[in-house]
Structure 1
Amino acid sequence: MTLETLWALVLVWLVAGYLVLDGYDYGIGMLLPALGRDDRRRRLMLNATGPFLLGNEVWLVAVAGVMIAAFPGLEGALFTAYYPLIAALLAGLMLRGTGIQLRRFGRGPGWRTAMDAATVTGSLVPAAALGMLVGGMLRGAPQGLSAGAAAADLLHPFTLLCGLAGVLLFSLHGAVYLALRLGGPAGDQARAAVGRLAPAALAVVVAAAAAGALSGDVRAVLTAPVSAAVGAAIAVGACAAAWALARSGAAAAAFACTSVAVLAPFAAVLAGARPHVFTGRAGEGALTLSDVLADEATLALLAWFIVPLAVVGLAAQAWNWWSFRERLDERSPLYF
């Protein structure tokens, strides 16, 4: 295996871990007002992810670190073209963390309401930003635009539709996670939410796929449109399977399906644009993997650090999951 292939796999693995693990945190945050009928239920929802919250966010830190060190060309291109979305994502993460961590320190319902609003907003914004990032990459990065024009370009209807798809997919992922982690009435309520969210997610993903197929900008970017179509079909099928599995009580299998569903749009971008990893509008300014990677000596040096860090990180997260493996219910002690 070449260093180029190794680091490509490392980056894909880290991005996948971030989307799957922090993705359900976004879903839980967005569902807080809908499923949290009272303060006790909201605390139960937050405690379902509480032990894993910071560990899940580490995946994004790892993505940023690996991209800056090993993929400087890709980091520069993405941050330049999509900086409004990346800035919104980071601001949302900080807002969500503030809402969850400070919620228990205030007195009175007003404080908790404000912190819950911060949690919902801080979950909704990153979910929408990730969906819009997929839409923006499918249309191609704008070339030679001013800062204001670049931000306005992200408000294209197709990009906004992808943002809505991101919100619904991550919400569905969070609802399935709650069905997996919560027992009693709270778990039943989460399964009912899956039944409402799955058809909505299916409809919007299908609409986004159809809009992409009709878009001249998208067709100009995709070098392998069949692969992109397969990715969209996988997202649709995974949502439908998660809906059926959640209704039958197979929450773990449903969670696996929603994990595939949130990954499929990003896989569709990579597969559909190959061998390019970044493309400008109308296919201009396309960059391949070799164009964005650091030099071989840097990659070889970094490999000595990433392997032990990955082993330690995975072991710590596995231990954390094992330690907090029991399902929560209305009688469980709550610390958030």
Structure 2
Amino acid sequence: MTLNDVWFVAIAVLWVGYFVLEGFDFGVGMLLPVLPADPTERRVMINTIGPVWDGNEVWLITAGGATFAAFPEWYASLFSGFYLPLLIILVALILRGVAFEYRAKRDSARWKAGWDRCIVAGSFAPALLWGVAFANIVRGVKLDADHEYVGTFWDLLNPYALLGGLVTLTMFVAHGAIFLSLKTTGEIRRRARSLALRTGVVAAALAVLFLGWTQFHGGTAVTAVLAVVAALAWLAALGAIARAREGWSFTLSAVAIGVAVTSLFAVLYPDVLPSTLDPANSLNVQNAASTPMTLGIMTWIAVFFLPLVLLYQSWTYWVFRRRIGVRDIPA
């Protein structure tokens, strides 16, 4: 295994962390209009992710930075070809972050309702478009001999990619509902469990169809095993939430999402961005990578800083591990 392979695996791990952690707070954001019965319960929902949502986004920043440094050709082709959807995601994340910060600046129901809509939209768009983007990466796009994307925006909205977007959307909603059932008390906990079970069944059906489609077009024995493990973990998560075992359910849903993302990277390897025009135009871990010296320096930096980041984020989750309910929200 070369450093090129090591950094492909490292980037895959970063995306797994991002989808597992940011996935549940996207889900919480999208559930704001449907789950709470009153403004106090809505505040409870926001407080469950308040201490962690911005830390979860660090995984995205790190994944983007690692891609830029380790595979600059991959980064350049992605950000030129996927410019519009990535811009929409960026604007949505900015709007969402501003909404979390500004929501409580005025004691006005209308003011808060407006920012709540921004949180919903800022959670919905990335949850859908990340699935569309990753499905296109796995499927391949129109790259010419210079590794330039020569397709259109509408080429990215193919049936396979749209199915991928629906999978991430529904899985994140269910993952968020499971997280809420783990972090809350009272009626909101009960409703979150019920909603997690219903949305989880829909997500399971879509995910099986998507992973089956992926396996049919480019899978191997390894990716087939990963897909089966992801499906079984998701079904076990739904069984656990049905029995009110929220801790096990959240752990299993995180495993299911993580293994599913891993299976996509396993299908992709050794390519990083296949070309549908000519396989010779595809970007892979060799022709898209930085120099060995750059990869070596990055490896030492990662060895030093990654444990610190993991320890800090783990400590944050430990500090804010307690369940909260309406009684914890001041009048």
TM-score > 0.5, shorter chain as reference: yes
Q: How many residues align?
A: 328
Which runs of 5 or more residues in structure 2 are unaligned?
none
Structure with bigger helix share is 1
The residue that corresponds to 1:38 in the other structure is 38
Contact kept? 2:135, 2:161, Cα under 8 Å: yes
The offset of 1:277, in angstroms, is: 2.2
The offset of 1:254, in angstroms, is: 1.1
The residue that corresponds to 2:208 in the other structure is 206
Same amino acid, percent of matched pairs: 31
The offset of 1:226, in angstroms, is: 4.2
CA distance in 1, matches of 2:244, 2:299: 42
Residues 1:78 and 2:78 aligned together: yes
What SS does the corresponding residue of 2:152 show, helix, strand or coil? helix
What SS does the corresponding residue of 1:290 show, helix, strand or coil? coil
Contact kept? 1:29, 1:119, Cα under 8 Å: yes
The two structures, once aligned, show a CA RMSD in angstroms of: 2.4
CA distance in 2, matches of 1:208, 1:288: 23
CA distance in 2, matches of 1:131, 1:32: 21
Instruction: Give the structure-2-normalised TM-score.
Output: 0.90
Residues 1:233 and 2:228 aligned together: yes
What SS does the corresponding residue of 2:255 show, helix, strand or coil? helix
Contact kept? 1:127, 1:163, Cα under 8 Å: yes
The residue that corresponds to 2:269 in the other structure is 274
Contact kept? 2:230, 2:255, Cα under 8 Å: yes
The offset of 1:174, in angstroms, is: 0.7
1:243 to 238, 246, 249: 238
Higher alpha-carbon deviation: 24-33 or 257-266: 257-266
The residue that corresponds to 1:123 in the other structure is 123
How does 1:135-284 map onto structure 2 within 5 Å? 135-143=135-143, 149-212=151-214, 219=217, 222=218, 224-281=219-276, 284=279
Deviations 1:41-71 (A, max 9, x none): 1110010011111111111111111111122
Q: 1:334 to 1:54 in 2, by over 3 A?
A: farther
Contact kept? 2:142, 2:149, Cα under 8 Å: no
2:313 to 309, 312, 317: 317
CA distance in 2, matches of 1:266, 1:83: 22
How does 1:51-66 map onto structure 2 within 5 Å? 51-66=51-66
The offset of 1:94, in angstroms, is: 0.8
Contact kept? 1:99, 1:115, Cα under 8 Å: yes
Which runs of 5 or more residues in structure 1 are unaligned?
none
CA distance in 1, matches of 2:105, 2:195: 30
What SS does the corresponding residue of 1:51 show, helix, strand or coil? coil
CA distance in 2, matches of 1:205, 1:229: 13
Q: 1:8 to 1:148 in 2, by over 3 A?
A: closer
